[in-house]
Structure 1
């Protein structure tokens, strides 16, 4: 029986979690797939673990040398015999119906080039860490600043990925590919949790290569902003960090005028995004996503200010119709805090 779907999983020294990842794919309710596993020069028992499986759907390839995840993924895409490719990582766990849900969605939506899903973030021992909540219609706006899609949850069309040049970045390769795809094609993030995303001490983007990935993403975000605002557009690094929800650099500047400028610059960027044609552009969704992001940033910044300065700051960055609501909410929270403090002391 010819496969209808390819599952692509690169492996590098993943022996500790590999069996759970492989099992989660082989036990899928959707069974008509080929499972391309590429070992990228592992020095642990990863290859032995893979070879212990006797399942004709597994196609194991061994890189002679360690060539990195970008080149390995591009190799796998070339090897795939189907148009639809589901990504998988060697330390994560796909839920049993993941492939069926995503395959059905892609069949029902032929114009969609990529579909992803929600995840549960877990630790090395499988303990629950968090579950992000993001609406699909807000992902397009936020993808300008942060890689809001989890790489091992995506299923994409091989031809679309090839058309945009495959994976091209050494670091933050997923963010780069998603950006290129979403300039030309529609995408969707399913509301269901379909994967447990494991964070380990070997996670490249969060531990081993954190500095390299962060530097790459800084450059990618600036490129993204220039796509909307013009090729010569530039803003301070602390603004980009703030939009990526790292507030420490901007706070450290201790300059409220810069904070105000950062918020107003975000408003300008939002307007530029609204004016740029894109298959994923939904005006009201962008406006709502921008409002949420704006308020999240303001709330994060002003908690470092005394009450009277918080009011002053909001007066300079908020429209008058929302200012009264913000001040009222701020005063209520302060009152609740004082009441709780008095109750505790009594």
Structure 2
């Protein structure tokens, strides 16, 4: 990939897109990430790199990009991923904000394919499918992600109750939506994107490009999503808090089914560490949604686990 400079903004007008990259000790991956943005066929953008207190070679990697007209490097003391992303939102000048984590990569046509979907003024978030890759950048083949991880368009709030199907580093958000309805919840350690998508989905439509415009890296050291217990706790807090705050705007059947689905997942989570707690979650899932096969499958696994 070539390191071509961004177009100069000679009229001092705001770019259409602000690319917000957040980085914490991902200097090893940062150059590839930056190059994937610089290779975009859509060029009306600025890059804001938020360094969340990295102690590796991130600052050294950044030096090769400091000469670019529309590149802005912002260092902050380590405050967590939500604070870093909010810092990017606060500093952005674009009409749209495209999020990217420093260990991920974009397809060169990503922005070119996504930005036109905002021609519909009701659309607030545009995302895409993703291709998984390992720590070394090798593409990985994965099976069907399941019903609740299929991409959806339109008013997706009741689908988001079940699971987060929006790949974060594929997302582009209308900046006015973030200004009106808030950014990332800095009290959350994980799941900050799912929390944001649910809140935004109450007010705007989602759209997606049905092909993998994101290369998403998995399995490398430091990846927060590997913390299963922390992820489960944050997911429970996010879902329960959202339903409590907005129950009057959600269809009761969707709420019941989503809570049953969450309880079934909780049952599987505790099946090896707290069997009686696991059983209670499976039983509650059956009570909430007795026509679903999933909690019965969970009870079968629970019964014959040992």
- 1:204 is aligned, of 204, 224, 227, to 224
The range that moved more, 296-305 or 194-203, is 296-305
- 2:69 is aligned, of 46, 49, 56, to 56
| Structure 1 residues 203 and 52: CA distance shift in structure 2, 3 A | same
Q: Please tell me whether residue 228 in structure 1 is matched to residue 247 in structure 2.
A: yes
Q: SS in structure 2 opposite 1:195?
A: strand
Residue segments in structure 1 that go unaligned for 5+ positions in a row: 268-290, 307-346
Summarize deviations over 1:209-231 as a string: whole Å, max 9, x none: x433321211111123333379x
- Number of equivalences: 274
Q: Please tell me whether residue 18 in structure 1 is matched to residue 41 in structure 2.
A: no
Displacement of 1:205 in angstroms is 2.7
| Structure 1 residues 183 and 52: CA distance shift in structure 2, 3 A | same
| Structure 1 residues 158 and 124: CA distance shift in structure 2, 3 A | same
Q: Please tell me whether residue 215 in structure 1 is matched to residue 233 in structure 2.
A: yes
Contact kept? 2:45, 2:70, Cα under 8 Å? yes
Displacement of 1:119 in angstroms is 0.7
Q: SS in structure 1 opposite 2:115?
A: helix
1:74-93 matches, within 5 Å, as 74-93=86-105
Alignment match, 2:5: none
Q: SS in structure 1 opposite 2:56?
A: coil
Displacement of 1:255 in angstroms is 9.3
Alignment match, 1:109: 120
Displacement of 1:259 in angstroms is 4.2
- 2:181 is aligned, of 156, 164, 176, to 164
Q: Please tell me whether residue 136 in structure 1 is matched to residue 152 in structure 2.
A: yes
Summarize deviations over 1:14-41 as a string: whole Å, max 9, x none: 0121111111011011011001111111
Write 1 or 2 for the structure with the bigger share of helix.
1
Alignment match, 1:321: none
| Structure 1 residues 79 and 116: CA distance shift in structure 2, 3 A | same
Residue segments in structure 2 that go unaligned for 5+ positions in a row: 1-8
Alignment match, 2:50: 38
Q: Please tell me whether residue 150 in structure 1 is matched to residue 167 in structure 2.
A: yes
Q: SS in structure 1 opposite 2:241?
A: helix
Distance in 2 (CA, whole Å) between partners of 1:246 and 1:191 is 33
Distance in 1 (CA, whole Å) between partners of 2:268 and 2:32 is 37
Distance in 2 (CA, whole Å) between partners of 1:78 and 1:258 is 41
Displacement of 1:6 in angstroms is 0.7
